Amino acid sequence: MVGPVGRFARVTRAARVARAGPLRAGVALALLAGGLTACGGGGGIPTLNWYVNPDNGGQAKIAAACTKAAGGKYRIKTSLLPSDASGQREQLIRRLAAKDTGVDLMSLDPVFVAEAANAGFLRPFTASEAQPLTEGVFDSAVQSSTWEDKLYAAPFWANTQLLWYRKSVARKAGIDPNAPDFTWDKLIDAAVRTNTTIGVQGNRYEGYMVWINALIASAGGRIISDAEKGDEAAIEIDSPAGRQAAGIIGKLARSTAAGPTLSTDIEEQSRATINGPRGGFLLNWGYVWRAEKGDADAGAINKNIVSDLGWARYPRVNPQQESKPPFGGIEIGVSAYGEHRDGLAIEAVRCMTSPASMKQYMLDEGNVAARPAIFDDPDILKEFPMAPLMRDSIAAAAPRPATPYYADVSGAIQNRWHPPASVNPNTTPRESARFIREVLRDKALL
Amino acid sequence: MTSVETAPKSGRPPTRAEISDRERGERRLGLLLSAPAVVVMLLVTAYPLGSALYQSLFSYRLTAPDDRRFVGLGNYATALTDPLFWQTVVTTLIITVVTVGVELVIGFGLAVVMHRAVFGRRTVRTAILLPYGIVTVISAFAWKYAFDVQSGFVNSWFGLGDYAWFSDRWAALFVIVLSEIWKTTPFVSLLLLAGLAQVPRDLGEAATVDGATAWQRLKRVTIPNMKAAILVAVLFRTLDAWRIFDNVFIMTAGQEKTQVLSFLTYQQIITRTALGLGNAVGVLLFLSVVLIAAVFIKGFRVDLSQVRGDR
């Protein structure tokens, strides 16, 4: 709702210029009324408000491209959400719970689709609308956008984490991170041997949950099942897989492979560790490649770091069991309260998530497309030499649990598993299972 | 937020019947004039409070409105028996006691400097008041980045290597308390300056003539005469410190056991959208604020009109 406020500021300025009392009031009223109608109409062309997570302007570019392609049928305006996933969710939920008609489209973290869908905040796509939005799209992305067998959001970009490493360090440690049986244990031992660090996201926030979930899934387990039962879902974190995950986190956090700020590191801080003097390994999203190249070009880091940078699939927990890398990205939801929810908004989503838009967004932002076919595109392969690995990782990725109570589940786990150095395989999974249940039943504070 | 009127005990006329017509008219006018303000107060404070009280009796998620059910005082029982609640109370108490205590001492020193400054008076006062003019969120970010391992300068200044301030409860609380003190000491010194200005100069001069040392003058003359201003400063700062939010939200987001009461409320209502439980915590926070205010006003007999200098 930036528009009307700006208009209003202009009103007061105009009012100050106008000297005569009645005239002033008249001018103000007229301008104000103009501002209010503009909120809905935008001078004839309907405006679709798209709430986006902050990026480097890639979504605004897509908005402009789709506005142009619409040929005057609609106009897409972007509004920025807070920078972290939890903050984005908080703002969207507040607006949608108040039935804000100023939201038409929104960039949603996949883990919040179930919650918003269950609350009736999202307009589901009909089967025929869903078909072009899901055809040729990663299964994991479609699965994350679906709630109770209906598609509630359109996959826009998919994300996964890779193991980024310094080739020189791997050589020194005598390991091959791309070996099929490369495990977390081997990784931690190699880092300890070479006195280097493994950058991970250990802050008490959603990124830490990503790590925990990927470890549990890689060990063949799940955090919860029967999610559609809401607060009565089955909690399975206290399992052999949960204990293995806890063992890895505790071992890493208490070893010299942990950076000094492991328990407060988010994506960018952990990325900085691989550029530091003890940099060795990093578990992080696909954006790292672009970010490292950008930093090297800007002179912020040594150019040699980029040529020394290797990548491998997310490490395994058990040597005989394929890893399940994390899944992330953004899906586009259509608000159930927007004026154009049944017509123009749907058209706009089709344009925003088209293969061309996804490819453009990947080239602009370094964020990974949700359609596997794009990874064979020569432009993409040239820019992203690791594209095939990303594609295979996303295809094998394990989404975090889809539940309307996701914020509670994730918050409860973060609470009991933080700080990482305190994680104990014998107690933490059991403790957290009990705690999740209490939180879901409103019997504990978070 | 609380307006307290303590009627002067001695000023009341001995009999009620002798109120003149004029006095009655003035009273009516007074009531009428204050009525709009009272109505606005009721709208913006009483309504949300009543609504919070009502919602706190339910188990209610914003995102699952159909599952709402009445639980009576169950949410209060949950909160009051949760160890996290009491851990939060202790953290808030530590922050409050330490910041108010330190601010009082430093604030008094600064007030004396501002009071005594002979030249450059305006510059001195501006310099002292500057931190108070900075938005808390911005000051919180500034302090966070200063102590950050990657971007901060504190570690290199003191040769601390890669010491992670925000990965330890007490170190994190230390930074939070430090930034709070830096930010709000000017407020305390401003209130104390008003108090200092009220101390009659001749009292100090008489004490000097009687041979009192500077310390004796401070202890026996200055401080007793500005007791009211000190108590008002302590009351205001205690209430503010008790409701601390921004610093914790920005610097640690409550991790490493640095959660405070306001943040706990935020977590339940905004993050979890557990409106029932969150409002129960909010009501408990409100009650604790009322308790603190009551203890000061009744217990220490703080006369809020004193701070304006009229007796």
Per-residue pLDDT tens digits for A120-175: 999 999 999 999 999 999 999 999 999 999 999 999 999 999 999 999 999 999 99
Q: What was the pLDDT predicted at A367? A: 87
Total number of domains in chain A:
2
Instruction: Please tell me which residue, A51 or B13, carries the higher pLDDT value.
Output: A51
pLDDT at B57 over 60: yes
Residue A106 and residue A207 in one domain: no
Report the number of secondary-structure helices (H) and strands (E) in chain A.
20, 13
The CATH architecture one would assign to domain B75-308 is: Orthogonal Bundle (1.10)
Amino acid in position A313 = R
Q: Mean of the per-residue pLDDT values for chain A? A: 87
pLDDT at A178 over 90: yes
Are B251 and B143 spatial neighbours (Cβ–Cβ below 8 Å)? yes
CB B255 to CB A264 under 8 A? Answer: yes
The DSSP call for residue B44 is I
Range of the domain at A54: 2-24+44-159+327-396
Q: Assess if residue A383 is contained within a domain.
A: yes
The pLDDT of A406-410, averaged and rounded, is: 90
Q: Assess if residue A32 is contained within a domain.
A: no
Q: What was the pLDDT predicted at B305? A: 61
pLDDT tens sequence across B257-281: 999 999 999 999 998 889 999 999 9
Q: What was the pLDDT predicted at B17? A: 60
Report in angstroms the alpha-carbon separations of A335 from A84, A315, A404, B194.
Answer: 21, 38, 17, 55
What pTM, to 2 d.p., does this model score? 0.82
Neighbours of B120 (CB within 10 A): 10
Q: Is B61 helix (H, G, I), strand (E, B) or coil?
A: strand
Indicate the burial class of B105 (C-beta count within 10 angstroms; 0-12, 13-18, 19 or more).
exposed
**Using a CB-CB distance cutoff of 8 angstroms, which residues of chain A are in contact with residue B82?**
444-445
Q: Assess if residue A267 is contained within a domain.
A: yes
Residue A147 and residue A195 in one domain: no
- The CA radius of gyration of chain B, in Å to the nearest whole number, is 24
Residue A62 and residue A176 in one domain: no
Å between A146 CA and nearest CA of chain B: 17
Structure confidence at residue A30 as a pLDDT band (50, 70, 90): very low
Q: Assess if residue A201 is contained within a domain.
A: yes
Nearest residue on chain A to B279, alpha-carbon basis: A445
Place of tokens 């407020």: B187
pLDDT tens sequence across B197-240: 888 888 888 988 988 888 888 888 888 888 888 998 999 999 99
Structure confidence at residue A6 as a pLDDT band (50, 70, 90): very low
DSSP string, A70-128: HTTS-EEEEEEPPSSHHHHHHHHHHHHHTT-TT--EEEE-GGGHHHHHHTT-BPPPPHH
Residue A284 and residue A423 in one domain: yes
Cis omega (within 30 of 0) for bond into A419: yes
Q: Which CATH number belongs to the domain containing residue A63 in this structure?
A: 3.40.190.10
The pLDDT of B105-128, averaged and rounded, is: 89
The DSSP call for residue A235 is E
pLDDT at A299 over 50: yes
Å between B267 CA and nearest CA of chain A: 7
Nearest residue on chain A to B78, alpha-carbon basis: A443
Instruction: Show the 3-state SS of A377-434.
Output: CHHHHHHCCCHHHHHHHHHHCECCCCCCCHHHHHHHHHHHHCCHHHCCCCCHHHHHHH
CB A442 to CB B75 under 8 A? Answer: yes
| Residue A178: partners with Cβ closer than 8 Å, 6 or more residues away | A310, A312, A313
Question: Is the CB of A204 inside 8 Å of chain B's CB atoms?
Answer: yes
Q: What was the pLDDT predicted at A35? A: 42
Q: Classify strands A150-151 and A105-108 as parallel, antiparallel or unpaired.
A: unpaired
ipTM of the complex: 0.79
Residue A315 and residue A341 in one domain: no
> With the C-alpha atoms ordered B226, B227, B229, B233, is the resulting torsion angle positive or negative?
positive
Residue A178 and residue A104 in one domain: no
CB B64 to CB A119 under 8 A? Answer: yes
Tokens for A33, please give them. Answer: 């009324």
Q: Assess if residue A315 is contained within a domain.
A: yes
Question: Is the CB of A267 inside 8 Å of chain B's CB atoms?
Answer: no
Q: For residues A51 and B221, what is the distance between their CA atoms, to the nearest angstrom?
A: 62
3-state helix, strand, coil in chain A (%, to 5): 50, 15, 35
| Percentage above 70 pLDDT, chain A | 90
pLDDT at B300 over 60: yes
